[in-house]
Structure 1
Amino acid sequence: MSIEINFELSDADLAHFRSMMNATIEKSQGLSDDEIISKAKELVNNMEKSNLPEFVRTRMMSLAALIDAVQDEEWQMPEDEKREIMLSLAYFSEPEDIVPDNVPVLGYIDDAIMIELVLQELSLDLSAYRQFCGFRATEEARRGDAAKVDRESWLAGTRSQIRSSMRRNRSSTKKSRFFSRIM
């Protein structure tokens, strides 16, 4: 038998998470992108080894996809987008958080909350990257066909279309951005 637990984060709760993010960003100023990525990957690896609740597992997989996006050379993420994701990943490089990760079941709940907030902020970026990966996989599956498209031209065109769509969606969405006061 499973149980469903729902809770709502108030404005005060969100302010608390913003302050945590601000503090982490300040602490991470001396870290290189490679160090931030390494520590975020370490968190993902530790989470994968744990017996995670499904709500944490799905968010952890999205965090892994954000890490992949900033490292994917073919995606060629613009620096401003990469910086936004790196600032978000900086939180996960901090070993001290609200609930110690070694507490069974609940240890990653604060991480899951922050991942969810980051994903809400970066949902269009993540969606665009996943769309690019899907198109890339489809093209690679067709590479055996006689009518091949030049890979670099195809990737450049696909990147351009997906990013244009993402930016249109971002400008038409007038939601309150969680990290707007942070970044």
Structure 2
Amino acid sequence: MRTVKHQPAALPWQQRPGKSLRRHAGSHLLTPEAVAQFDRYMHRINPQAPQIDADRIATLARWLQDLPEDQARNFLGDRLSRFELLRAMRDDSDWNASDDSRRRIDALLAYFDHGDGEQLIPSGIPLLGLLDDVLLLEMAWPALQIEAEDYRDFCGFRDDEQPRGSAAEQREAWVRARLEALALHRHHARVNASHYADSGRPSQPFRIG
């Protein structure tokens, strides 16, 4: 029973490129070696992610460039905020992030914080310089989403309720609160589905006169 959080629209990853400017993100050439290296890095984070290819990256780049600038920046910003959520989840002493999540987050942040040296698209390119960061996070997100959403919900509970005690006791209080909310939700569902009176015909109907 998590609190509701707006989810960014999905990247149009399934679009296929046209014939012009294939394997280019703006003026930047997506070399086969760089794309292969990016793909290997991504699959170390999430082995279940789809295969990366230059044509689809080029299509995403053109799609992003065609958006109004404010819309494109908002689109990127919605996703880049997830990096800070993951960074907070990794560093929060009140949250016991799993070892697997820490490994994935460390790899994502290492790419995001590294600069241009090993990145698929140089960060200095306006808008497009963030596309590979966003794409890497988008492909890795399914492996982190459940824990990240739990952590976001825990933070909201901690801010609102200010539970006392150790980190473990705060997490236990959060779990109890969510289980109680789930039980209440199920109770209301049962009540709404039940009938307060028999809708059949009474055996001795009232008569007038």
Q: TM-score normalized by structure 1?
A: 0.54
Query: Could you say which residue in structure 1 is the equivalent of 2:39?
Result: 18
Query: Could you say which residue in structure 2 is the equivalent of 1:98?
Result: 120
* RMSD value, Cα: 3.5
The alpha-carbon deviation at position 61 of structure 1 amounts to 0.5
Query: Could you say which residue in structure 2 is the equivalent of 1:82?
Result: 102
Letter in 2 for 1:21: M
Q: Larger deviation: 152-161 or 66-75?
A: 152-161
CA distance in 1, matches of 2:141, 2:44: 19
User: Which residue, 6, 14, 32 being the options, matches 2:12?
Assistant: 6
CA distance in 2, matches of 1:9, 1:77: 35
Is contact 1:99–1:110 with CA below 8 Å preserved after alignment?
A: yes
Query: Could you say which residue in structure 1 is the equivalent of 2:133?
Result: 111
Query: Could you say which residue in structure 1 is the equivalent of 2:157?
Result: 135
CA distance in 2, matches of 1:90, 1:104: 21
Q: TM-score normalized by structure 2?
A: 0.48
CA distance in 2, matches of 1:154, 1:138: 16
The alpha-carbon deviation at position 65 of structure 1 amounts to 0.3
CA distance in 1, matches of 2:92, 2:41: 28
CA distance in 1, matches of 2:132, 2:161: 39
The alpha-carbon deviation at position 134 of structure 1 amounts to 1.0
Is contact 2:42–2:139 with CA below 8 Å preserved after alignment?
A: no
CA distance in 1, matches of 2:146, 2:36: 23
Pairs within 5 Å for 1:1-183? 6-8=12-14, 17-21=38-42, 53-95=73-115, 96=117, 97-140=119-162, 150-152=164-166, 154-158=169-173
Is contact 1:75–1:159 with CA below 8 Å preserved after alignment?
A: no
Superposed CA deviations along residues 23-57 of structure 1, whole A, max 9, x for unmatched, are 89xxxxxxxxxxxxxxxxxxxxxxxxxx8611210
SS at match of 2:88: helix
The alpha-carbon deviation at position 161 of structure 1 amounts to 6.4
Letter in 2 for 1:19: R
Is contact 2:90–2:102 with CA below 8 Å preserved after alignment?
A: yes
Q: Aligned residues: percent identity? A: 26
Cα distance 1:160–1:88, how it changes in 2: closer, same or farther (>3 A)? farther
The alpha-carbon deviation at position 159 of structure 1 amounts to 6.1
Cα distance 1:17–1:77, how it changes in 2: closer, same or farther (>3 A)? same
User: Could you list the runs of 5+ residues in structure 1 that have no partner in the other structure?
Assistant: 25-50, 141-148, 163-183
CA distance in 2, matches of 1:160, 1:91: 33
Is contact 2:101–2:144 with CA below 8 Å preserved after alignment?
A: no
SS at match of 2:94: coil
CA distance in 2, matches of 1:84, 1:78: 10
